[in-house]
A and B are shown apart, each in its own frame.
Chain A
Amino acid sequence: MTAELLFASLHLAVPELILAVGALALLMIGVFNGDKATSTVTGLAVALLIAAGLWILIASPDGAGFGGAYLSDSFARFMKVLALIGSVVAMVMAVGNARSEQLDRFEFPVLLVLATLGIMLMISANNLISLYMALELQSLALYVVAAINRDSLRSTEAGLKYFVLGALSSGMLLYGMSLIYGFTGNTGFDEIAKAIAAEGRSLGVVIGLVFVLTGLCFKISAVPFHMWTPDVYEGAPTPVTAFLAAAPKVGAMAILVRAVSDAFLPAVADWQQVVVFISLASMLLGSFAAIGQKNIKRLMAYSSIGHMGYALVGLAAGSKAGVTGVIIYMTIYMVMTLGTFACIMAMRRKEGETVESIDDLAGLSQTNPFMAVMLTALMFSLAGIPPLAGFFGKYFVFLAAIEAKLYWLAIIGILSSVVGAYYYLRVVKVMWFDEAKGEFDRVSPELRLVFGLSGLFVIVYLFIGGPVGSAAEAAAQSFF
């Protein structure tokens, strides 16, 4: 690689460079000043993420860098901005809860920046090696933040569980990659697609493809690789869970879309049936397993499993409309999830004790009407009730599935979303019709801002959905 090529590649990757160099600088600031620098480091970390996001929006060109290992296109930019928004919001929400959850350590924002860096590199990965390295960078940082409250048994258990299962999934991913490399002779996505198209798909490639899908489905917590999700969501400190549920899911879904619609496009019949199965299983399990949950964080875990299933419906369609649907779905999912977690973080009794049970929301409509209205909007939206945002997300993916003649998938999806509506509505019922047990403490302004904005987003999506949809369509244009 000549110097000009290297500089061209570096120019493409400026947003990532901002985060990487910035994270190192923040680490230095933190190390030299100790934990009293936490608020400075957090502020600077948010500034870094915003700077990277602005650069992507304003000055990021199209192109492939580092010998094809890194790709910048409209899809990558859209998903990266989404992931950055998720990270920024999660980090801001963590500030208020930092002390009670023992997150007031300067390493926490640094690790979140590094995880975000991993997510962005993953979204831009165009090569099996860069995909794996970015995935590990992201996962490793997340394992640590899941266990960061090391004096809490549940947090360490969550971190360990996440780590062990994550390592298992990485092993499967690597095994699949080695098979694909062995049978196609390449690690670049474009070259793999060419090799499969030229030589036809061999059995080795199909097995490798299934293993790669397995590894990626672990990361988006789709059935049957979802086992870690409820325990990790429940055990990890709530601000960490909010982060886990938003940006990494966007990144993993993005790379899943890119892998199947770029590298494995010639083997569409093979991955389509796998994605259809995973999508069906996730939707059904997400709907039925959530019914019995009492803890709202566990409920959100099953809800996210189900939502990944719905998003995969769009991917299963394997068309431009399908990928557009996935992008819109992930956007809406992320906004709803962040808003709901902002409400969960606001569930703190006056005595300072945080509560996580659904019953603790009883009578919220009397004690905190604003939060109750917003959470109700979010719950209706998660259930997919028109005219809220969640409905449009589901509408686009199911429409794409019907256009691709996947009628059964769409029908079962709609039925399972009816089942899912039950437990979302139960939360609403508890808030509005049950007797209040106690009041929550005053909600901090940043949390109010987050759930206010996301509640507003789902309510007025009918009017702002047009630009979001056309941006998503432009992003999906990268593949078709």
Chain B
Amino acid sequence: MKCRKCGAAAALELRRHNAAFCAPDFLDFFRNQVREAIRRHKMFARGERVLVAVSGGKDSLALWDVLLDEGYDTTGLYLDLGIFDYSVESKAKCEAFAARRGATLLVSRVADEVGAPVPVIKQVTRRPPCSGCGLSKRYLMNRVALDHGMDVVATGHNLDDEAATLFGSVMHWQTEALPRQSPALPSTHPKLVRRVKPLYRLSEREAAAYAFLRRIDYIVEECPFAHGATSIAHKEILNRMEEASPGAKHNFLFGFLEKARPVFERAAGVVLQECARCGQVTTGTVCAFCKLADQVKRAAGGAAPER
């Protein structure tokens, strides 16, 4: 198999683009897709402060790598979920990457903020672990961004992540979730920082290939709580469709973004206000994060949050 651009031996076949690329031309392709995402959705401009949420995985470190090379003003944020050795190792990967690139990394511990690490939140709430974890991550990303005067939060969500989330929402017709699914969510409240996903045009495998070819040391092991997660089941279904019909995931997501999302966006009319307790943005009186922290506190017998 030959590289579509230079004719040298290819490193990666991209069936949905009916193409194959050698390593240097694939890296160019990857960077161009990130540039196109940023340009098309006006994600951020030079001079703006970008908070890059990093997990130690391939996607977020690949994203940070590209943005650093492109000369953007970035700061990393690692949220320590307290998930045993997995969190210890993933934090070490982020710190090593930041040190190698001479970049600033902020670290925030979920246990300090919610009152307990993710494994305890899982027990207390009796909800799937990914539920309390995702809620905490979204809340803390926004709050850290506000506290540090960041203009925008960038996450490493890729095409597979977005297609799987969309699939889940459609399977349950969660119409309230559909307008919120976008590569770029604008700030609709002074306390809500813009959120962008510059990798949404790139597949999970492309992000992994970029990280590998750039020799980024990322955590390959899966989060121990992700086993059996619905999002993974949806990804497996979509990958079978992709195998039978290359481009299926791309068409599903991009068709939604171009044709269906505007319809759901027009129909939605959400009023945002500030949480009576923490002052962060919510649609109710008390935000979901404060309710989660209350639940953790009650389970601990009213004791002060673990520090």
**Is B one of A's binding partners?**
no
Interface residues of B (CB under 8 A from A): none
Please give the residue numbers on chain A whose beta carbons come within 8 Å of chain B beta carbons, in ascending order. none
